[in-house]
Every structure is written in C-alpha cells, then in structure tokens.
Amino acid sequence: MPTKPIKPGLANGLRLLAVSQLQIQAARSVALDTSALGVMAIDAALAAIIIGTRGAYDLWIAALVLLGLSLGVAVRTLLRPGADQNGPSVTEMLDARACDDDETIEGNMLTDLAGDVQINGQALARKDPLIAWAVALLVLGVVIELAGLQ
C-alpha cells in the first residue's frame, strides 16, 4: 500500500468505482449462473425429444452424448464460485474506528474493495469459458441431431 495519503475526493471516487464494479460483477455472476441453468433445461428437454423420436439413423447417439457433455459443463459452471466478495463489513469499519484514525480506515477500505474486485474478476474469468463450452456443445448436439433428420 502506498504511503502517500489519498485526498478525500479521490478516495470517494475510488470507493464509488469499486462499489459499482462489485455490483457489475455480482450481476454478471448471477447472469452466468442463470445461463447455466437455462442450458441445463434445454439439454434436458432436447434429450427427452431425441430419446422419444429416435429414428433409424445413428447420429442421435452422438447428439445425446454432446447434450450430456453440455449438461455436465453447465453443472460445473454452477459449482464454480462466483462473484461473492462484496466489500468490507460496515460493522467492521465502525469497530475499527476505536483503534484507527479515519485516514487509515479509508485506506484499508479501499484496499479491501480493490482486493474484492480482483478476486471476483478471477472467479468470473474461470466461469466465462465454461458456459461458452456448454453452449457450444449444446449447439453442436442440435446440429448433429438436425443433420441426422435429413
């Protein structure tokens, strides 16, 4: 942490920026989890349709395998931790006033917020490719199923 003091205006701006970034990350995390649930629902519905209407062609097995893989990757996406760091506790900040001055508390709060933004960013970076793979496998399964119908 730098030893140079942070001016109140800059500290307030940094705090607002960090809070908005944490809110965006939390919303992105919820969107990724919702997308994974949607992929899982589509996988299950398409698997039921494929099993119910399987014909004389052999591609339905490949389509079903791809849908199963897509479902597995979507479940893995849900099991990964999301953006659950949301900044320091207000009660901790108020309790810290008994030991530290306001400038120290402000610096610690900004450091905590910056750390939480970084942790959330890393968690989301691990989730993003998984949902992309789940959707890609889903689409490939549908394409193979459609190719088998022809």
Q: Read off the pLDDT of residues 31-41 as tens digits, 9 standing for 90 and up.
A: 999 999 999 99
Residue with tokens 């402000």: 106
d(CA 68, CA 76): 12
What is the pLDDT, as a whole number, of residue 1?
47
pTM: 0.77
pLDDT, tens digit, for every residue of 65-97?
999 999 999 999 999 988 887 777 777 777 777
Q: State the Cα–Cα distance between residues 93 and 95, nearest whole angstrom.
A: 5
DSSP 8-state assignment for residue 5: P
Residue 3 identity: T
Least confident of 73-77, 101-105, 112-116: 101-105
Residue type, 98: A
Rounded to the nearest angstrom, the gap between the alpha carbon of residue 46 and the centroid of all alpha carbons in its chain is 25
